[in-house]
Structure 1
Amino acid sequence: MIHKIIKNENDYAIALARIDELIDADLGTPDGDELELLVTLVELYENKAHPIGFPDPIEAIKFRMGQAGLKQKDLIPFIGSRSKVSEVLSRQRPLSIAMIRKLHEGLGIRAEVLLREPETKGVPASEGIEWERFPLAEMVKRKWLPHFEGTINEAKKQIAELIGGWAAHVGADTLQPALLRQHVRSGSEVDNYALAAWRIRVSLQAQEQKIPRYQPGTVTTDFIRDLVRLSYLDNGPLLAREYLLKSGIHFVVEEHLPHTHLDGAAVMLQNGSPLVALTLRHDRLDNFWFTLCHELAHVALHFDGGECDAFFDDLDQAEIDLFEKDADHWATEALIPSELWHAADMERNPSTRRIIDFAASLRISPAIPAGRIRKEKQNYRIFSGLLGYKQVRTLVMQGI
């Protein structure tokens, strides 16, 4: 029996070997007491000699769940009740020796990993975050919080750990919009906590995309015009997604949350890659292409200069400042250059036939000139048949 402080790697190896021998020991027995003592001695040594030697046990469990396609309920045989599983994964309850033994035997996670002290993650409530203001019910409904499958009441009891740990992967400052250099274009009051949750969600989705390194200056007028020519094809939105990803620009589609009034956003991620995220709040081809170009305009005009880290846009609202005026103008010109628009005299007596012929001459979707005419004339009842209603969401979501 080992009953002395672990002082070197040889003592450490002997202790780990003995833990493997005792892992099945019952609590309260001599072997169980020895196991608990060894766990304590190993933790003391690891904290001193191997502060980053093994992965965090909770992250190791989550990783194994992902590998095996397990859900939270699948851990009940190893941890106990559904509430205990939630508490362990959200770091509210420590792993017991019995849990460690069952997880080691059932999931094959190394005992020395499970024996480590879990890291403290997330943002403490003392930093002034009003956790109850997050749209928790909607977040749970959409399954945004990984591995959590409990009730709303259970989620409320651990909201700081759930949301704080979730946000830690993209930077804890995203929980507090006041700390960020971001710009919101909206004609009504925006729920900043809902906006923060949406930003975290799309940023996490972007992190899952493997793309080449973004080169500043990539987004130019010519780049956009090549992109817009894809609109001529039936699967243009899907091709646009591939075009952006191969250019080092993340592209995500995520439905907006209530009280955010979003059409799209441009966000500069911590790794220096831009993210364009659309909500498809208005499921029309003309809206898709204009919103996409508007957000790319922010990338071209404002990110490379470092003026702002994020733009969130409700494009139903008029231009509210120079940032938005520049982005609107840049997007409009990229979609259809003014000289071509005026030369075709599209403002006067437009017709469905003229719009289709004009779009064909530019090799772009007729939804783009039709949408421009509707906006310029402030008449949103005309040319509805050219806009591609209900064609974008199904197409884009099928391809993701």
Structure 2
Amino acid sequence: MKLKVLKTEEEYETALAEIEKLMDSAKPDRDRLELLVLLVHTYEESLYPIDLPDPVEAIKFRMEQAGLKQKDLIPYIGSRSKVSEVLSHQRPLSISMIRKLHEGLGIPAEVLLKEPGAQIIPAAECIEWDRFPLAEMLKRNWFQDFHGTVAEAKKQAGELLTAWAGSLGFEVPQPALLRQHVRSGSDADRYALTAWRIRVSLLAMEQKVPKYQKGTVTHDFVRDLVRLSYLDEGPLLAREFLLKNGIHFVVENHLKHTHLDGAAIKLPDGSPLVAVTLRHDRLDNFWFTLSHELAHIALHFDGEETAFFDDLEQASLDVFEGDADRWASDALIPPESWQAAQFGKRPTTQAIYNFAASLRITPAIPAGRIRKETGNYKLYDGLIGRNKVRRLYA
């Protein structure tokens, strides 16, 4: 095999087989063997990182060490009821709590944040308030109780933004302390991402949904959802489908310098949110983005990840993103159906219509997949459903 960074399970298995073969050889190529072992080790570390202790268990351990009772945690957590909720995993730790527990009880920041190497950044002085896109946020009426000018907003940006994000449990809207994966072809503005994340989270918290049941999102679940694409109002019906299954769904335009198609976000209460921007108003983009974000919920929300931001025009070497791409493609169109179609590089428009009808999905989905796989985005422009989504959410 060609020596390169391992990105798939197949490449990983091939490397393992070659390592075994080299080790059994009488005169192995030791340089190649060492490189293969390094590549395998790197791949395994990306998939199976060493887990840090649970933050709540770390607090309980520190209490036992210091002989502390629950009432002794009130100065760090805020009230007797909050202490009880945190220790029973009913309330997430806020940044304020994390900072006080770290400084007062000496619990390592990386344990409380469940992020190797993480450090607590001082509260207000670490925030560059003028980097938040306040003018655009005011234009979109994100601060409904504020009626001043942009200049006035900038003068009180700290207080304004802190109050705005307060119901999410953030002491301050702190970009550096939000655990999030960003897939983008250029450096995304993390202040704009943080503002957008808070906005869609606040909108989601206004939605009433049943409690999400772990394991709900499967390939079969997504295929039931995607059959709605066969209907003219499918993208709008998708919202109702998700809400009834305990998954928040929000449409919000992206902010400049965020390069967003969509995101999967874990809300403070642990419930999942799928948010899309409709940056590209096309049916193929809508359904793939939706499936990709659901893939993150299915595959990656068991750990400590709290958000995935996706520019799906960009390739990604990230293992999380590669897995989500493959999972989403297989959910939209079963692999056996795609293989049986034997489309080749350029099937006829009628063949695509017939294939889509057999699966009861919009032809935009197979047309979009062919465009992506061939790299020819001039194909099937009449099939991908331009300007068919945003009008439904107007």
**Smaller-chain TM-score range?**
0.5 to 0.7
Task: Map 1:128-147; keep pairs closer than 5 Å.
Answer: 128-147=126-145
**1:181-200 correspondence to structure 2 within 5 Å:** 181-200=179-198
2:391 aligns to what? Answer: 394
The answer for the alignment partner of 2:161 in structure 1 is: 163
- CA-to-partner distance for each residue in 1:250-271, whole Å, 9 max, x for gaps? 0000000000000000000011
The residue identity in structure 2 corresponding to 1:167 is A
User: Counterpart of 1:300?
Assistant: 298
CA distance in 2: counterparts of 1:299 and 1:184, whole angstroms = 15
Quick check: 1:225 aligned with 2:223? yes
In structure 2, relative to structure 1, the CA distance for the partners of 1:370 and 1:173 (3 Å cut) is: farther
Q: C-alpha displacement at 1:348, in angstroms?
A: 4.1
Residue 262 of structure 1: aligned partner:
260
For residues 380 and 137 of structure 2, the distance between their equivalents in structure 1, rounded to whole angstroms, comes to 37
Question: Using the alignment, how far apart are the partners of 1:208 and 1:222 within structure 2?
Answer: 28
SS of corresponding position for 1:320: coil
Inter-partner Cα distance in structure 1 for 2:317 and 2:147: 42
| 2: CA distance, partners of 1:205 / 1:296 | 19
Q: Distance in 1 between matches of 2:250 and 2:205?
A: 10
Large movers: runs of 4+ above 6 Å: none
* Rg larger for: 1
Kindly indicate whether residue 227 of structure 2 is the aligned counterpart of residue 246 of structure 1. Answer: no
Determine the structure 2 residue equivalent to 1:376: 373
Letter in 1 for 2:393: V
- 1:307 & 1:170 partners in 2: Cα distance? 17
2:107 maps to what in 1?
A: none
**Would you say the 8 A contact 2:261–2:278 is kept in 1?**
yes
2:344 aligned with 1:335: no
Determine if the alignment matches structure 1 residue 355 to structure 2 residue 345: no
Residues 191, 260 of structure 1: 8 Å contact kept: yes
**Shift in CA distance, 174/160, structure 1 to aligned 2, threshold 3 Å:** closer
Aligned to 1:203: 201
Identity %: 68
Does the alignment pair 1:323 with 2:320? yes
User: How far apart are the structure 2 equivalents of 1:177 and 1:163?
Assistant: 12
Structure 1 unmatched ranges of 5 or more: 1-50, 53-122
> 1:20-76: CA deviations, max 9, x gaps?
xxxxxxxxxxxxxxxxxxxxxxxxxxxxxxx99xxxxxxxxxxxxxxxxxxxxxxxx
Q: Displacement, 1:369?
A: 0.4
Secondary structure, counterpart of 1:384 in structure 2: coil
Residues 131 and 160, structure 1, Cα contact 8 Å, conserved in 2: yes
Query: What is the DSSP-based 3-state SS (H/G/I as helix, E as strand, rest coil) of the residue aligned with 2:265?
Result: strand
CA distance in 2, matches of 1:184, 1:348: 32
1:172 aligns with 2:182: no
Q: What is the TM-score of this pair, normalised by structure 1?
A: 0.67
One-letter amino acid matched to 1:140: L
| 2:265 aligned partner, one-letter code | V
Q: In 2, are the aligned partners of 1:370 and 1:387 still within 8 Å (CA)?
A: yes
Q: Could you tell me how far 1:176 is from its partner in structure 2?
A: 1.6
Q: Judge conservation of contact 1:229–1:364 (CA < 8 Å) in 2.
A: yes
1:4-25 CA distances to partner (integer Å, 9 max, x unpaired)? xxxxxxxxxxxxxxxxxxxxxx
- Distance in 2 between residues matched to 1:155 and 1:197, nearest whole Å: 15
Letter in 2 for 1:194: A
TM-score normalised by the chain length of structure 2: 0.68
Aligned-partner Cα distance in 1 for 2:242–2:338: 26
Q: What is the number of residues matched between the two proteins? A: 276
Secondary structure of the residue that 2:287 maps to in structure 1? helix
CA drift at 1:383 = 0.3
